[in-house]
């Protein structure tokens, strides 16, 4: 596994009480997840990909990607095919 060294401001570390390496890894992972979501939604807005594919790129469930899109003011479009995928073939 590659190692990354990050220099933090002492005040930030003290204020956030980041003394535990496990907590720092968790915060870093959250940041990477948000970066992936932002990147996928930017590509989605540019067109040419479904919200489902954007979710796949970001590594999150489609329902979470819908929520993330709405939080950012993006209203995902629904096609008949998208609805069929979400509801299943019996609907």
Q: What is the largest CA-CA distance in the chain?
A: 58
pLDDT digits (tens, 9 = 90+) for 38-90: 999 999 999 878 899 999 999 999 999 999 999 999 988 766 666 666 555 55
Q: Where are the domains of the chain?
A: 10-87
Supply the pTM of this predicted model. Answer: 0.70
Q: Is the model more confident about 16 or about 43? A: 43
What's the pLDDT band for 13 if we cut at 50, 70, 90? low
Distances in Å between the Cα of 61 and the Cα atoms of 18, 52, 53, 89 are 29, 8, 10, 19
Using pLDDT thresholds of 50, 70 and 90, give the confidence band for residue 5.
confident
Is the pLDDT assigned to residue 32 strictly greater than 70? Answer: yes
């Amino acid at each position: 596994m590659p190692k990354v060294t990050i220099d933090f401001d002492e005040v930030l570390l003290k204020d956030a009480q980041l003394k535990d390496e496990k907590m720092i890894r968790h915060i870093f992972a959250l940041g990477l997840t948000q970066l992936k979501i932002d990147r996928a939604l930017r590509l989605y807005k540019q067109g040419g990909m479904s919200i489902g594919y954007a979710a796949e790129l970001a590594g999150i469930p489609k329902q979470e990607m819908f929520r993330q899109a709405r939080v950012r003011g993006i209203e995902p479009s629904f096609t008949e095919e998208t609805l069929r995928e979400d509801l299943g073939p019996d609907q």
